[in-house]
Amino acid sequence: MKTVQSELAASMRKNCDKTAVKRGHTQITYKELDLTTDLYAGEFLRYKQYDKVIIICDDKINTIKAMLACLKANKIFVILDLYAPVKRNINIVNQIDKYFIVTDSIDKCNNIISEKVEKVIITNLENVESVRNDFCTTKIKYKADSPCYIYFTSGTTKNPKGVIGRNESLINFLLWEIREFNITSEEVFGQLTSPSFDPFLRDILVPLISGASIVLRENDNIIFYPEKFFRWCRSNNVNVLHITPGLLNSLCCRKKEAENEFKLLFIAGQKIMPGYVDVWNECFDKKTLFINLYGPTEATLAKCFYVIDRNRKYESDIPVGKPIINTRIFIIDKKGNICGKNKEGEICIESQDLTYGYLDKTLNQGRFINGISDSKLKMYRTGDSGYLNENNEVVVTGRNDRQIKINGIRVELDEVEAVMLGEENIVEAAVIFNDGRLEAFYVGDAQVSGLKRYMSQYLIKSCIPVRFTQLMYMPLNINGKKDYKTLKNLNNLK
The 3-state DSSP class for residue 218 equals coil
pLDDT tier for residue 282 given thresholds of 50, 70 and 90: confident
pTM of the model: 0.86
| Dist CA 386 CA 278 (whole Å) | 23
Q: Tell me, what's the pLDDT at 117?
A: 43
pLDDT at 491 over 90: no
pLDDT tier for residue 241 given thresholds of 50, 70 and 90: very high
- Beta-strand ranges (E) seen in 60-216 are 76-79, 99-103, 121-122, 147-153, 161-166, 188-190, 213-215
Question: Tell me, what DSSP letter sits at residue 460?
Answer: -
Q: What is the pLDDT of residues 70-129, one digit of tens each?
A: 999 999 999 999 888 888 888 899 899 989 999 888 888 877 775 554 455 665 666 665
| Dist CA 458 CA 346 (whole Å) | 30
Residue (of 169, 153, 173) closest to 161 by Cα position: 153
Q: Tell me, what's the pLDDT at 188?
A: 98
| Dist CA 379 CA 178 (whole Å) | 25
Average pLDDT for 467-476: 88
Q: Tell me, what's the pLDDT at 246?
A: 79
What number of residues does the chain have? Answer: 494
Quote the percentage of the chain above a pLDDT of 90.
61
Q: Tell me, what's the pLDDT at 368?
A: 97
Cβ–Cβ under 8 Å, residues 413 and 399: no
DSSP 433-459: EETTEEEEEEEES--HHHHHHHHTTTS
Beta partners for residue 305, in sequence order: 293, 322
User: Pairing relation of β-strands 188-190 and 121-122?
Assistant: unpaired
Q: What is the pLDDT of residues 406-456, one digit of tens each?
A: 888 888 888 898 889 888 888 788 999 988 889 999 988 999 999 999 999
Average pLDDT for 165-190: 98
Cβ–Cβ under 8 Å, residues 325 and 172: yes
Residue (of 421, 460, 465, 430) closest to 91 by Cα position: 460
Q: Tell me, what's the pLDDT at 132?
A: 56
pLDDT at 201 over 50: yes
Q: Tell me, what's the pLDDT at 249?
A: 81
pLDDT at 239 over 70: yes
3-state helix, strand, coil in the chain (%, to 5): 30, 25, 40
Average pLDDT for 194-199: 92
pLDDT at 269 over 60: yes
Q: Tell me, what's the pLDDT at 133?
A: 64
Q: What is the pLDDT of residues 139-167, one digit of tens each?
A: 889 999 999 999 998 766 667 899 999 99
Average pLDDT for 3-30: 97
Average pLDDT over the chain, rounded to an integer: 89
Q: What is the pLDDT of residues 283-331, one digit of tens each?
A: 898 899 999 999 999 999 999 999 999 999 888 789 999 999 999 999 9
Residues 6+ apart with CB under 8 A from 15: 30, 185, 211
Average pLDDT for 391-395: 96
DSSP run (H or E) holding 205 = helix 199-210
The 3-state DSSP class for residue 133 equals coil
